[in-house]
């Protein structure tokens, strides 16, 4: 019988995954998983001598079929959303969430694993097997397996409700963003914009059957407009739209935020944790909400004074240059525009000057070449036809140095109305025996226009390197125990963020930064201007990230403050005041469109600090490459062996020490972020 979401082949036939098949096949996978779990429970009820293979490993693999099918369905909804697909996902969401949450609450499964741990085999385990046993027992203990029945039932209800509400949060953001289109009908309204942005806006207008040029809230259109468009009125209009996404009307997310926080807080209290942050971070490097807050506050203190200095310099420049009148405060929609003018004046540098040197295919080829030098991987475009969910998606194969296939991944890089915004990596199925890994890197980058190939900004280049760093990390994890092919969320960004460093070195750029027309390397003078400007407004960028981490932790350590407030936005502004600038009007918080926190049952909730935490790790770890050779294959192989491959088979703090020989130091991050003042 033909199957859709239950396919085992890698890669699968995405055309067979039709929405009408989802409910039957996901429920079939649930039933298969139930049977797998029933066999394990027998060991908890005294049915024979428990073994590692029959308990710990069997439990680790029990959900394989459901994991894959559910991942496929969620993935399709994120890249090829349709009303039918969304309806199927929403119908199944509570049922699947409830089923998953029931596993860690199952006394029979817990008893089976505990019984095994007391056997001679259980007591003699070493290496990955010993660690997986310990992690599995901890999953049960932290998940609530020892709770009374009524509390377990409530935890299952909470999981199901969170799944539905966070999915609705994401849908509201996506649906509200689609409503906003700024149409410009005369060339005068395009003044200041780069040619690439103008061409892309023309193409967008044609897609929407509109006259002139269409600018949406998609990043490839929004960012250039806010940075370069001379029309202050139009920048104001676009900024107001962006700032209001999912904050009012039928797509408002404020009530959902309150409900999600309430459910998370209740879950933490049922688990006898002081707050949701403590419940989440217990298994991560930070260990607690307080420790994460202390980290954010420490970095904020280091960046606060430079942040204020940068703002004062920007305002002074704006007044001297005529972008602000005397006594006038900076409008928030003018900040990026004036910042770019200051950068150009200070360094003679415009980031758009780099774009012609970043044609997409060349960037991908260079990125693959750097990974081959560092990690011994060989990546090439698939020659055989592999149908996906959209004709623009490309398929690639990743090979080990010995020629064996490591994995297959899709590159889905261009925006579509049916695709969510942002950039991400997803593992669709793990490498398992002879079956290669399957993954996807997704982004929303500028498309090629007027005969030119897609030409990337430096930010987009960094994004590709970042997401590919995630992919390489998950493709290389090689523990035979699938449950150990994961890492703490405040460590997971290390392999992705460190990859961005190879975009900033001239010898690396010479590998792939070639002018799309002439093939010439990026001129040294242009690179020097870029390099000199890299720390420009660095403290401001850091404080922006830290502000997201601060409000995240505040909401998940003191949820009652926000749940009981009649105005969540007002509460957020009080907390974010030290991270805010004195603009002509308050800048609304990101909360109603903050899908990192509220668009997934857990996601980055109480964990947004992980970006900065991992940035400390990446800046420090990269200093070793700087000392021993940017493309030193020996250091690269050691990074792969000690950081990338180990997954959760080694504690992340220990893994870092194994590579660096010491604990992390924040100095490297601060040094690379703050511009040193010249006397």
Indicate which residues carry an active-site annotation.
467
Identify the CA nearest to 69 among candidates 159, 8, 13.
8
Secondary element (H or E) of residue 127? helix 127-143
Partnered with residue 435 across adjacent β-strands are 432
Identify the CA nearest to 152 among candidates 188, 115, 107, 91.
107
CA-based radius of gyration for the chain: 25
CB atoms within 10 A of CB 186: 8
Residue 590 · residue 257 · CB < 8 Å: no
Distance CA 469, CA 459 (A): 15
CB atoms within 10 A of CB 348: 13
Bridge pairing between strands 394-399 and 378-381: antiparallel
Query: For residue 580, what are its two tokens?
Result: 């805010």
Task: Output b/e per residue, 496-507; b: 16+ Cβ within 10 A.
Answer: bbbbbbbbbbee
Query: For residue 53, what are its two tokens?
Result: 């293979």
Cis upstream peptide for 11 (omega within 30°): yes
SS3 504: coil
Identify the CA nearest to 10 among candidates 311, 438, 554.
438
Residue 579 · residue 266 · CB < 8 Å: no
The tokens 């972020």 sit on which residue? 673
Backbone angles phi and psi of 207, in degrees to 5: -60, -35
């Amino acid at each position: 019988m033909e199957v859709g979401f239950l396919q085992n082949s890698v890669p699968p036939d995405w055309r067979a995954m039709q929405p009408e098949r989802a409910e039957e096949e996901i429920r079939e996978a649930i039933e298969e998983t139930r049977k797998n779990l029933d066999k394990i429970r027998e060991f908890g009820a005294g049915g024979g001598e428990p073994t590692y293979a029959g308990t710990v490993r069997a439990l680790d693999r029990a959900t394989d079929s459901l994991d894959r099918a559910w991942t496929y369905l969620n993935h399709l909804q994120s890249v090829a959303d349709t009303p039918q697909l969304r309806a199927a996902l929403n119908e199944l969401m509570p049922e699947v969430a409830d089923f998953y949450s029931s596993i860690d609450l199952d006394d029979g499964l817990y008893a089976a694993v505990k019984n095994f741990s007391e056997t001679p085999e259980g007591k003699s385990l070493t290496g990955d097997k010993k660690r997986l046993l310990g992690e599995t027992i901890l999953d049960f203990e932290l998940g609530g397996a020892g709770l009374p029945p009524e509390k377990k039932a409530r935890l299952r209800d909470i999981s199901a409700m969170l799944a539905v509400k966070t999915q609705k949060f994401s849908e509201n953001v996506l649906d509200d963003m689609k409503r906003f289109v700024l149409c410009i009908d005369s060339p005068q309204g395009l003044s200041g914009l780069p040619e690439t942005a103008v061409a892309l806006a023309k193409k967008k207008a044609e897609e929407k059957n509109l006259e002139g040029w269409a600018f949406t809230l998609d990043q490839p259109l929004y960012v250039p407009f806010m940075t370069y468009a001379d029309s202050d009125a139009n920048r104001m209009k676009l900024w107001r739209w962006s700032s209001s996404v999912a904050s009012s009307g039928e797509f408002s997310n404020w009530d959902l935020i309150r409900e999600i926080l309430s459910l998370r807080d209740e879950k933490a209290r049922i688990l006898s944790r002081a707050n949701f942050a403590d419940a989440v971070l217990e298994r991560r490097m930070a260990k607690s909400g307080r420790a994460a807050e202390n980290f954010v506050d420490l970095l904020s203190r280091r960046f606060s004074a430079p942040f204020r200095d940068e703002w004062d310099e920007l305002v002074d420049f704006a007044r001297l240059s005529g972008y602000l009148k005397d006594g006038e405060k900076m409008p928030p929609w003018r900040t990026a525009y004036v910042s770019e003018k200051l950068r150009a004046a200070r360094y003679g540098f415009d980031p758009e000057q780099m774009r012609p040197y970043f044609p997409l295919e060349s960037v991908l080829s260079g990125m693959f070449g750097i990974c081959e030098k560092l990690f011994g991987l060989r990546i090439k475009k698939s020659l055989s036809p592999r149908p996906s969910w959209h004709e623009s998606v490309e398929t690639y194969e990743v090979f080990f140095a010995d020629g064996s296939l490591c994995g297959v991944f899709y590159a889905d890089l261009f925006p579509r109305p049916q695709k969510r915004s942002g950039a991400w990596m997803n593992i669709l199925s793990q490498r398992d025996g002879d079956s290669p890994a399957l993954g996807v890197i997704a982004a929303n980058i500028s498309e090629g226009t007027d005969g030119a190939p897609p030409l990337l900004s430096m930010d987009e280049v960094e994004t590709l390197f970042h997401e590919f760093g995630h992919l390489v990390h998950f493709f290389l994890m090689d523990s035979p125990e699938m449950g150990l092919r994961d890492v703490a969320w405040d460590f997971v960004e290390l392999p992705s963020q460190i990859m961005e460093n190879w975009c900033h070195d001239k010898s690396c750029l010479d590998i792939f930064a070639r002018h799309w027309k002439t093939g010439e390397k990026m001129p040294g003078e242009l690179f020097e201007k870029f390099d000199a400007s890299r720390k420009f407004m660095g403290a401001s960028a850091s404080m922006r990230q830290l502000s997201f981490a601060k409000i995240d932790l505040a909401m998940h350590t003191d949820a009652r403050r926000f749940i009981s407030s009649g105005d969540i936005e007002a509460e957020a502004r009080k907390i974010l005041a030290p991270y805010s600038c004195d603009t002509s009007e308050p800048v609304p918080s990101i909360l109603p469109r903050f899908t990192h926190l509220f668009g997934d049952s857990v996601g980055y909730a109480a964990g947004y600090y992980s970006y900065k935490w991992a940035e400390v790790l990446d800046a420090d770890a990269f200093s070793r490459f700087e000392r021993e050779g940017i493309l030193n294959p020996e250091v690269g192989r050691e990074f792969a062996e000690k950081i990338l491959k180990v997954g959760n088979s080694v504690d992340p703090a220990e893994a870092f020490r194994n590579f660096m020989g010491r604990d992390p130091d924040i100095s490297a991050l601060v040094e690379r972020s703050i511009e040193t003042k010249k006397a």
